[in-house]
């Protein structure tokens, strides 16, 4: 049982570090090859690489609110860690664990930018729908939230949520491991 738990934590940590490194590497590439230069058009009038230093959130809200973003990120990371620990160590909850790792990687990736640069480097732009410029960390968070919503509404049953309350059941193992 302890070995399985250790492997879940190790896998989560490896995925988290990989996600953060990938995010930071793409931001480094964006800064190196896009900052101060013309956009790189990948699909005309649809998608391009466009360097942007974002001091706020999506759609330009909360400009210059670094402290707010750091505190919010730390709270979200705490919640993600809580859920990761509380989840049963079964395959049924693996996708939920992936969601928590993606949210954490995205949050940490953007928090690193805010702490080091006072802004977040964004560089993907969908001109077709004039969507705000975004980055890899943002993709992690959006994918995680989409997957979470799918799981919450179509996969898990009400009794599966008992692990997420402060008074709920503690995390359980596979029935075969409890013997």
Distance (Å, rounded) from C-alpha 88 to C-alpha 83? Answer: 10
Select which of 23, 113, 138, 174 is catalytic.
Answer: 138
* C-beta neighbour count of 38 within 10 angstroms: 10
Select which of 23, 39, 122, 160 is catalytic.
Answer: 122
The answer to whether 79 and 118 have CB atoms below 8 angstroms apart is no
Distance (Å, rounded) from C-alpha 137 to C-alpha 126? Answer: 16
Kindly compute the dihedral angle of the four CA atoms of residues 91, 154, 73, 10, in this order, to the nearest 10 degrees: 10
175, two tokens? 């029935």
Task: Enumerate residues 6+ apart whose C-beta is below 8 A from 144.
Answer: 98, 99, 100, 102, 103, 106
| Residue 39: active-site member | no
Q: Where are the alpha helices (DSSP H) in the chain?
A: 2-34, 66-86, 94-117, 136-150
φ, ψ at 57 (rounded to 5°): -115, -170
Q: Which positions are catalytic?
A: 122, 138
């Amino acid at each position: 049982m302890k070995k399985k738990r250790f492997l879940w934590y190790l896998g989560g940590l490896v995925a988290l570090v990989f996600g953060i490194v990938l995010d930071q590497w793409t931001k480094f590439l964006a800064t190196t090859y896009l900052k101060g230069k013309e956009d790189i058009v990948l699909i005309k009038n649809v998608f391009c690489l466009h360097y942007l230093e974002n001091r706020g959130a999506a759609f330009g809200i909360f400009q210059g609110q670094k402290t707010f973003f750091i505190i919010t990120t730390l709270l979200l990371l705490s919640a993600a860690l809580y859920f990761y620990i509380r989840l049963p160590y079964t395959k049924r909850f693996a996708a939920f664990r992936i969601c928590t790792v993606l949210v954490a990687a995205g949050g940490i990736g953007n928090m690193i930018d805010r702490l080091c640069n006072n802004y977040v480097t964004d560089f993907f732009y969908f001109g077709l729908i004039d969507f705000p410029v975004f980055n890899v960390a943002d993709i992690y968070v959006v994918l995680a939230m989409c997957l979470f919503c799918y799981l919450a509404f179509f996969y898990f049953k009400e009794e599966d949520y008992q692990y997420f309350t402060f008074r709920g059941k503690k995390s359980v193992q596979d029935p075969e491991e409890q013997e």
